[in-house]
Chains A and B, each alone.
Chain A
Amino acid sequence: MNIPIEYYIWLSAILFGIGVLGVLYRRNAIIIFACIELMLNAVNLLMVAFSSYLNDANGQVFVFFIMAVAAAEVAVGLAILVMMYRNTKSVDIDILNRLKG
């Protein structure tokens, strides 16, 4: 393996930046969820890269747990989204600004 670790850092930073961009750019709540998944995956990729380069298996176990948490998070989030759609007939994230205190 002759790929420098910096290449993986750049790739992960770019993917994370695209995820942040999507969260700020779109109004559709489902796309925002998808971009959050993208950010989680960028972090996972970097963790696997460092774990593989340093021969430390703990990083890969953590990635496994992150995947489990992400699955739970998506299930709960999409259920909330379906409830929101049932009440307002829209998945526009700006509707949720009524939650402000």
Chain B
Amino acid sequence: MTLYLFYFLSFVAIFSALLVVFSKNPVYSVLYLIITFFAIAGHYVLLNAQFLAAVHVIVYAGAIMVLFLYVIMLLNLNQESEPHKSNLIKIAAVVCGGLLMTVLIGTLRGASQVVHQPGKDIGLVKNLGKILFTEFLFPFEVSSILLLAAMVGVVMIGKGEDNSVNR
């Protein structure tokens, strides 16, 4: 049963990831990316990492993808008039991606001796929070500074240069 669920989620993830790359309209690309993220969240649930599944749906599907859609609609890019690369470059891109995938699979082949050890539900909020707020407390605080710096930078970039209206 779990295996069939895995196959289904993997199929959905790969299929919609391919559609992200090959669909002409940027809005459709981003919507397919949301489907991919939901499939990956399903994988997280399957791996007994419920906290990360919830955070993944909230952060990616809730925040990042809304940002993407917002920018696409703000820039009015939802027409299909995007210039495309030449066929030679497209073929080269497909070959490069396929070769990289093959190399990755070949490199990581020796992991079959890793077997699942049942026990401790490490994916639950209780256990993960205990580690996050003891062992990883300092990186946690640093990431808040990172988010603040990103926010300040985005405001500075997005403000623009035209200071004709001084206030």
Contact = CB atoms under 8 A, between A and B. Distances in A.
Interface residues of B, number: 85
Given A2-B2, A3-B6, A53 B117 contact: yes
B131 A57 contact: yes
Contacts of B75: 82, 85, 91
Interface string A1-32: 11111111111011111111110111110110
For the residues of B in contact with A, the DSSP-based class is helix
B127 A57 contact: yes
A48 B40 CA distance: 11
B47 interface: yes
Interface in B116-167: 116-120, 122-123, 127-128, 131-132, 135-136, 139, 143, 146-147, 149-151, 153-154, 157-158, 160
B151 to A, nearest CB: 7
Contact of B111 (A1, A6, A15, A73): A6
Given A17-B104, A41-B40, A76-B157, 19 more contacts: A6-B111, A11-B43, A14-B14, A17-B98, A22-B20, A24-B97, A25-B90, A35-B21, A51-B122, A55-B119, A60-B51, A64-B132, A65-B136, A69-B146, A72-B149, A78-B68, A79-B158, A82-B75, A86-B160
Interface of A: 1-11, 13-22, 24-28, 30-31, 33-35, 37-38, 41, 44-45, 48-58, 60-61, 63-65, 67-76, 78-83, 85-86, 91-92
Interface of B: 2-3, 6, 10, 13-14, 17-18, 20-21, 26, 29-30, 33, 36-37, 40, 43-44, 46-49, 51-52, 55-56, 59-60, 63-64, 67-68, 71-72, 74-75, 77, 82-85, 89-90, 92-94, 96-98, 100-101, 104-105, 108-109, 111-112, 114-120, 122-123, 127-128, 131-132, 135-136, 139, 143, 146-147, 149-151, 153-154, 157-158, 160
